[in-house]
Amino acid sequence: MTKNLANWDRILRIVAGLILLGWPLAWYGPENITPWGYIGLIPFVTGLLGTCPLYRVFGWSTKQS
């Protein structure tokens, strides 16, 4: 997989993912996770991997060559 995310984009995605994952866990606990918690996995994982499949579809990239 070709990386198409700049460092600032990766950090932003990881932080947003952790917030979306952590907020429901802190308030409701793991047994009552809300859909927002699962949605938080998407930016978190794409930030860790450094690639965004949606960017690839549209031909976008925030990473400088």
Quickly state the pLDDT bin for 57 (edges 50, 70, 90).
very high
Q: What is the pTM of this model?
A: 0.85
What's at 45, amino acid-wise? V
Q: Is residue 1 part of a domain?
A: no
User: Do residues 48 and 6 lie in contact, with contact meaning Cβ atoms separated by under 8 Å?
Assistant: no
Q: What is the pLDDT at residue 18? A: 93
Could you give the number of structural domains in the chain?
Answer: 1
User: Domain containing 54: what range?
Assistant: 7-58
65: pLDDT strictly greater than 70: no
Q: Within 13 Å and on the Cβ side, how many CA atoms surround 40?
A: 17
The CB density around residue 50, as the number of other CB atoms within 10 Å, is 17
Q: Is residue 2 part of a domain?
A: no
Mention every residue, 6+ apart, whose C-beta is less than 8 A from residue 60: 4
pLDDT digits (tens, 9 = 90+) for 8-49: 999 999 999 999 988 877 777 777 777 878 899 999 999 999
Cα 53 from Cα 45, distance rounded (Å): 11
